[in-house]
A = this chain, B = another copy of it.
Amino acid sequence: MQGQSIDALETPSVLIDMDIMERNIAQMQKRCDQLGISFRPHIKTHKIPDIARRQLEAGAAGIACQKVSEAEVFAAAGFHDIQIPYNIVGARKTQRLAELARTAHISVTIDSRAVVDGLAAAAQQARTHIEVLVELVSLGKRTGTTPADALMLAQHISATDNLGFAGLMIYPSDAAIRPRLLETLEMLAAAGIPAKTISGGGSGAIRDAHLLPELTEMRVGTYVFYDWNSVSQSYTTFEHCAMRVRATVVSANEASRVILDAGSKSIQSETVGGRFGYIEEFPDARLHQVNEEHGYVDFSACAACPAVGDILHIIPVHTCVVTNLHNRLFGVRGGVIEQVWEVAARGLVW
**Contact surface of A with B, Cβ cutoff 8 Å:** 8, 10-13, 44, 66-67, 86-90, 92-93, 111-112, 114-115, 118, 137, 141-146, 149, 248-254, 259, 261-262, 264-266, 268-270, 291-294, 296, 307-309, 320-321, 324-327, 346-350
A327 to B345, CA, bound (A): 11
B11–A293 contact, CB under 8 A?
no
- Is A10 a contact partner of B253 (Cβ separation < 8 A)? no
Residue contact A291 to B142, C-beta cutoff 8 Å: yes
Instruction: Among B86, B292, B347, point to the contact of A346 (Cβ < 8 A).
Output: B347
For A291, give the chain B residue with the smallest CB separation.
Answer: B142
Choose among B8, B86, B142, B262 the residue that contacts A349 (Cβ–Cβ < 8 A).
B262
- CB distance B349 to A253 under 8 Å? no
Number of copies: 2
A294 touches B142 (CB 8 A): yes
B143 touches A251 (CB 8 A): yes
Contacts of A112 in B (CB 8 A): 251-253, 308
Within the assembled complex, what's the spacing in Å between the Cα atoms of A259 and B135? 14
Partner of A89 from B149, B309, B320 at Cβ < 8 Å: B309
- Asked whether B324 lies within 8 Å of A293 as measured between CB atoms, the reply is no
Asked whether A11 lies within 8 Å of B141 as measured between CB atoms, the reply is no
Q: Are B143 and A294 in contact (CB under 8 A)?
A: yes
Nearest Cβ distance between residue A1 and chain B, in whole angstroms? 11
Say yes or no: A89 contacts B293, CB within 8 Å: no
Of the candidates A146, A264, A265, A293, the one having the most CB atoms from chain B within 10 angstroms of its own CB is A265
CB-based contact B321/A253 at 8 Å: no
- Does the CB pair B268–A268 fall under 8 Å? yes
A114 B309 Cβ-Cβ under 8 A: yes
B270 in contact with A10 (CB, 8 Å):
no
Q: Is the CB of A347 within 8 A of B327?
A: yes
Contacts of A254 in B (CB 8 A): 141
How far does the Cβ of A239 sit from chain B's closest Cβ, in whole Å?
25
13 A-B pairs (CB sep. < 8 Å)? A11-B90, A12-B349, A87-B259, A89-B248, A89-B250, A90-B309, A112-B252, A114-B309, A142-B294, A146-B253, A264-B321, A265-B324, A327-B347
